[in-house]
Every structure is written in C-alpha cells, then in structure tokens.
Structure 1
Amino acid sequence: MLVAVGCARHKGEVPEISDIFDRVARRRRRDRAQPDYAGFDFIRAAMLDGIAERLDTVKRDFTDMLDLGCFDTSFAPAGARVARVDAGLAFARAAGGVQADEDRLPFADASFDCVISAGVLDQVNDLPGALTLARRVLRPDGLFLGALVGGGSLPTLRAAFRAVEGERPAARLHPQIDVRSAGDLLVRAGFALPVADVETIEVDYGSLGTMLDDLRGMAATNLLRARSPLTRGTLGAAAASFAAAADVDGRTHERIDIVFLTGWAPDASQPQPAKRGSATSSLAQALGGARDSRS
C-alpha cells in the first residue's frame, strides 16, 4: 500500500543508487505479514472490488491474466488462467506464483491479455518502468487495471507526526501519487485510452496503535531507504495527537483515497484521435453561430 512508521535499515544491504524503497526490507516485511494477512486485507479487498466492477464493464473475455503483487489468490475470475507474482517469497509461494519485483518482471512480451495490480504500485522503486513492463507483457488491445493508495490519504496520521516533529518531520510516510499524476504515468508508459479515477474509503480507529497494527498486518509500514528509527517518546506524543482528533465516541477518523488506473496496450483497432487540422468547421464559426442564435 503506502505508509507509515519504520525502523532502521538492515545492515549489509547494498541498494541501487536510484532506489527510493528498501527492497530487502520490503521482501522481509511481506514474508512476516503473509501468515496473518487475511485479517488485514480490507483495503486490498476494496481495491479488488473496484477492479472487478471495471472488468464487468468490458464486454470481452480475458483468458490469460497476471496478478501483479498478488498477496494471495483472492483475485480469481471465472474461466481465466491467472499467473501470480509477488515481491515477497511467502506470498508468491502460497499463491503458487513467482517471486519478483514489479519493476523486474520475468515474463515475455505479449504473454497476457489482462494485467491487474492492487495495493503494491506505490511501493515500487521504478513505477514508470513497472507500468511500462506491464504494458509490454500485454498483448495488443490487452487491458491493465491497477489500484493504489493515492495522494491525500492518511491526513490524520500525517498531522499527528507533523504536530510532534514540526513541519520537517522525519521520513515516516511514503510519497503519494495523486490521480492526475497517475494518469500522466499511464501516458508515459505507453498505454492507450488511459483513465485514472479515485474513490475514498474511511476507517475509524480507537488508537494509533491499532492503526499501526493494521499497517504492519498489510505489509504497509515505512519502506523508505532514508527512514529513521521511531523513538518511544515520538510514538507516544504522536499517539496523543492522534487521540486528540477523536470524535465524542473516542474514534479517530482516517481517510484513504484509492486511485484506480485503466489503460490498454495499443492496437490499431482502438479508437484514434482525429488528425490535427481535420475539422470541417472552426471554433470561431461555431461560437459565432451560437451568438447569432441568442440575438
């Protein structure tokens, strides 16, 4: 997914210079989360529901599908063969898939007619590269559907740490991608007919500790290479700030924006934009006609 509180980097790690996220920490945390993940999958479940709704609007059948960042086998459309890949060995093994990072896919070009990805794209070091690879493994006119936690999410958690650490807090939350940037990334990756839209869900928490338990359970804690240890004092002060935002029932509201991505692998059969200069009348003529009709 995307967020939150972290610990020190693993010793002995040799990251790539361009990496934002700690690949080793990500694999280890996914492996730790795998045994109990079913109890913490509510955000990904909402993403998969949205993906299923979008699939239902497409009037064609998909037979060879890729679940990119699979977590488990909960994505299982009837009549389709689903290959699964996950950055964590435990998730990949339990799902009968392969272990690989999303920006290092092991599949040949044009292997699938549909690729879906729910809940992992905001933890990928090379997101433009990962989207480009997703487009390349699609056959012509193949469909990509993705979902990720987007910009504006977790405002209460952000405010709690900002209140404790000031306007320049330690790197505790991941960079977030808003819906407009998501659409631009689809275009950059070479998708045709790109669409990005957002849906919001709200979750109530009795304490910051409960929220952090959820984030650990869904393998969504801080994976930034530049993360710093969280002291007990900082955590306690952030918990108090989080609790101060609670309603009269003692529940603190948190918002999560889910950005959905839709794109198609280019194909000659798809609708094409009109060629520049092909219009038969000008905008000035149209506006002039409109002014005449109102006079």
Structure 2
Amino acid sequence: MASPPRIFAPARRLAARRRMLALQGQPDAPRYLMADMVDDVLDRLSFLRVEPRKPLVIGDFTGMLGVGLGPGTVEVEPAHGFDEEQPFPAGGYDLIASLGTLDTVNDLPGALIHLRGALAPGGLMIASFLAAGSLPVLRGAMLAADGDRPAPRIHPQVDVRAGGQLLQRTGFADPVIDSRSLDVRFSSLERLVDDLRAQGLSNLLDRAGPPLGKAALARARTVFAEAGEDGRTTERFEILTLSGWKR
C-alpha cells in the first residue's frame, strides 16, 4: 500500500501546537474557534440525547468540552505526543470528539479509521476542523504579495463533499456532514496572523514558501486593509463537522 503524500511537516505541527498551548496561557488569548466547536458538540449531543459514559476528547485546549461531558472524560493533545495517525493506545470509547486537529494530518482517511477503531460498538465520532472556503481575504492577500510566483502558504482544505466521501470510505454508519461560517473582524493583517498562531493555525506545510520580504508584506497589508471598511476587515472561517457511528 502506498504511503500518503507528505503535505504537512510533523515537526512543524508539533512545534505550532506547543506554541499555541503557551500562547493560550495568556489572559486575552483568542479561542473563539475552539469555543464554537465545543458549543456545537454539546448542542449535537443534547439534540441526539447522547450521554456518553466514556468519552475521549482530542485537541480541546480550553478544557471546556471535558467539563461539559463530566469527570469520566479522557482528554489528549497532539502537542503532548498523541498521534492520530497511529492506532489509539486505548479503546472502547462511546464518544470521540476531535476538535481542530484533523485538518493537518497527512493521512486523514487513516486517522478516521483509527478513530472508528477506538470506538465501542454503537459509539459516536464527531470531528470538527477548518474547511474549504476559510480565510479568503488572507488567501487573496498572499497571492497579491507573491505576484507572478505564488508560494505555498495556505493549507489545502476539505469541503463538504469530500468529507462525506471520507466518512463512507472509512466505514462510519449514518454519516452527517455539515459546515458553518464564523466571521471575525480584524484591525490589521498582523492581528489576524497573531490570532492564527495562538489557535494553532499557522503554516504547517512540509514545503512552505519563503518568508515575505518587506515589499511583499506591504502589498499583503494593503490588500487586507482594502478588503475592509471603517478600519476593520472581516475574515471568514468555515468549520466542517463530520459525525458518524460505529455499528
């Protein structure tokens, strides 16, 4: 079997998540994306009337989902060595919630198979992460900055259709795939970049482009500012959620 393509650099991913955890220790750290994912998981469980007794939470650096699920929750973090692309060291979970991590694994089908393998029969998997359509203003600014020679700076992303195909391919029953938008206003390009770093969303590509020079950075700032009004630019985050059961 052929190995999956190496899109993301594992070492950069580990370093970025460790930096994210350090930045999240600051009192004003941005965590709106994770907060949205946590609230969404709790809403889905309430709607489905699911009360897991043995849940596993992956990647929630706020700890709020574990609080909502109760004291029996197991919480793991890739920055601490949890490897989503390997068989999980334990299993029998009746709920696994993976938040904000699967968009930067090289073997996404394999990671989903390992999620399913760690579920107990009848268990539910919910995975949320940034999806196709995210960061359109930043994408435009980076293209303008690079000019005729665009460099790889923004991650490839999964859309709703591909998400459905992934769930079917990896054997989940009754799959549900949906996406939602979260719009956030920023005072500058630098503020957006700072928020991305603090939420573990910096460039993790294995073959990332070179740093922007002064002229290129100035072009990016101009394009970003011109996309807004009243001194603020609205950027969009698309959050894809995949859920399915192990029958």
Structure 1 residue matching 2:123: 3-state secondary structure: strand
- For the residues of structure 2 that align with 1:141 and 1:106, how far apart are their CA atoms? 18
Residue 210 in 1 paired to residue 200 in 2? Answer: no
Over the residues paired in the alignment, what is the CA RMSD in angstroms? 1.7
> What residue number does 1:74 align with?
64
Q: Out of 170, 173, 183, which is 2:164 matched to?
A: 183
Residue 174 in 1 paired to residue 155 in 2? Answer: yes
- For the residues of structure 1 that align with 2:160 and 2:4, how far apart are their CA atoms? 28
- For the residues of structure 2 that align with 1:46 and 1:70, how far apart are their CA atoms? 11
Instruction: Tell me the percent identity.
Output: 38
Residue 30 in 1 paired to residue 12 in 2? Answer: no
Give the AA of the match of 2:85.
Answer: D
Structure 1 residue matching 2:57: 3-state secondary structure: strand
Give the AA of the match of 2:175.
Answer: P
Give the AA of the match of 1:58.
Answer: L
> What residue number does 1:21 align with?
8
* Bigger Rg over Cα: 1
TM-score, normalised with respect to structure 1: 0.77
For 1:243-263, what per-residue CA distance to the aligned partner results, in whole angstroms no more than 9, with x for missing partners? 11111x111111111111110
Give the AA of the match of 2:107.
Answer: D
> What residue number does 2:82 align with?
100
Question: Residues 47 and 79 (structure 1 numbering): CA distance in 2 closer, same or farther, change over 3 Å?
Answer: closer
Question: Residues 78 and 50 (structure 1 numbering): CA distance in 2 closer, same or farther, change over 3 Å?
Answer: closer
Structure 1 residue matching 2:224: 3-state secondary structure: helix
Structure 1 residue matching 2:174: 3-state secondary structure: strand
> What residue number does 2:33 align with?
43
Structure 2 residue matching 1:240: 3-state secondary structure: helix
Residue 132 in 1 paired to residue 113 in 2? Answer: yes
Structure 1 residue matching 2:65: 3-state secondary structure: coil
TM-score, normalised with respect to structure 2: 0.91
> What residue number does 1:236 align with?
218
- For the residues of structure 2 that align with 1:21 and 1:174, how far apart are their CA atoms? 9
For 1:15-37, what per-residue CA distance to the aligned partner results, in whole angstroms no more than 9, with x for missing partners? x8832111111111211221231
Q: Which residues of structure 1 form unaligned runs of 5+?
A: 1-15, 90-98, 267-295
For 1:209-233, what per-residue CA distance to the aligned partner results, in whole angstroms no more than 9, with x for missing partners? 0000001111110000010221232
> Is contact 2:94–2:124 with CA below 8 Å preserved after alignment?
yes
Deviation at 1:54, TM superposition (A): 0.6
Give the AA of the match of 1:81.
Answer: G
> What residue number does 1:193 align with?
174
> What residue number does 1:152 align with?
133
Q: Out of 235, 239, 244, which is 1:254 matched to?
A: 235
Deviation at 1:103, TM superposition (A): 1.2
Give the AA of the match of 2:218.
Answer: G
Question: Residues 203 and 73 (structure 1 numbering): CA distance in 2 closer, same or farther, change over 3 Å?
Answer: same
Deviation at 1:55, TM superposition (A): 0.8
> Is contact 2:130–2:238 with CA below 8 Å preserved after alignment?
yes
- For the residues of structure 2 that align with 1:238 and 1:60, how far apart are their CA atoms? 46
Structure 2 residue matching 1:187: 3-state secondary structure: helix
- For the residues of structure 2 that align with 1:231 and 1:84, how far apart are their CA atoms? 37
> Is contact 2:98–2:126 with CA below 8 Å preserved after alignment?
yes
